[in-house]
Amino acid sequence: FENPHDGKKMMLTPEMSIGLQNSIGADIMMQLDDVVSSLTTGARVEEAMWRSIRWLDRGMAAHKRPTEQNLFPIVQGGLDPELRTVSAQELAKRDAPGYAIGGLSGGEAKDSFWRMVTLSTDVLPLCKPRYCMGVGYAEDLVVCSALGVDMYDCVFPTRTARFGNALVRSGSMSLRQGKFRDDFRPIDEDCSCPTCKNYTRAYIHTVATKETTGCHLITIHNIAFQMRLMRDIRQAIVDDCYPQFIRSFMRRRFGKTVPAWVINALKSVNVDLTVPDEDGYSAKPISEDFQKEPSH
């Protein structure tokens, strides 16, 4: 790697990676792994999977603060069910405080994505947190939580804010559009974040993508949106009404046409959106995988 400070080449080893994270004091540390594109197939995927396991063992041996910092192994194996199963099984043998599901969200088909997620959660220990890396779309959070994932990270909320896009339950709101010029409502009337409490859509429209202020304000809202969604997901699980929450969310998000991958994934955990609920709502699968522009 090229050192960002002086431009010199440096060898980042599994031991050095852990040492840097020990010095930073991160609550959750990640092993150094060999990442290949989720679209890669063949021997390279297996090579990377086994190398990641070897690097994990070296990282665990180098970990100097195991009682203070949590080192998460990372499941690899690409889109190969056998390799991903072997990877998850090998990681589960190590008594880690939590486990990560990696190597996804790299352009693969969503129907392949969810199958690798659920395969991983089926193998990893139930009593430890499972963290899906790089996942941030709202529907992905709802679906993957149903498949047994507990934690996520993603640049999506902050990156999309830089383009003037605010996240709401029904989709992504492009505040650059002229229709918001005279809209004096908050981004989301149900949101209590500082942006929604103090700024209107009209004001944010004037600065979105033009000044860093716009990026900052939308970023604050988008992160608050993600956190509120995850709190709602958790509470629905605690209240034992998550299937009802899923139906309500998908109805508001997509209406009566829902991406087929969502329907397939939820069917695997006995939530069938194609069967009418007590309110008469049911969904038809469509092949498109899209972020819908909300109508309001």
Report CA torsion sign: 218, 223, 227, 230. Answer: positive
Cβ atoms of residues 55 and 49 within 8 Å? no
Nearest C-alpha neighbor of 119 from the set 76, 153, 154: 76
Q: Which residues of the chain have pLDDT under 50?
A: 295-296
Residue 294: per-residue pLDDT: 56
| Cβ atoms < 10 Å from Cβ of 176 | 15
Residue 15 is encoded by which pair of tokens? 């031991």
Q: CA-CA distance, 13 to 185, in Å (whole number)?
A: 51
Residue 251: per-residue pLDDT: 95
| Cβ atoms < 10 Å from Cβ of 274 | 12
Residue 156: per-residue pLDDT: 95
CB burial class (10 A; 0-12, 13-18, 19+) of residue 229?
middle
Residue 232: per-residue pLDDT: 98
Residue 293: per-residue pLDDT: 54
The pTM of this model reads 0.92
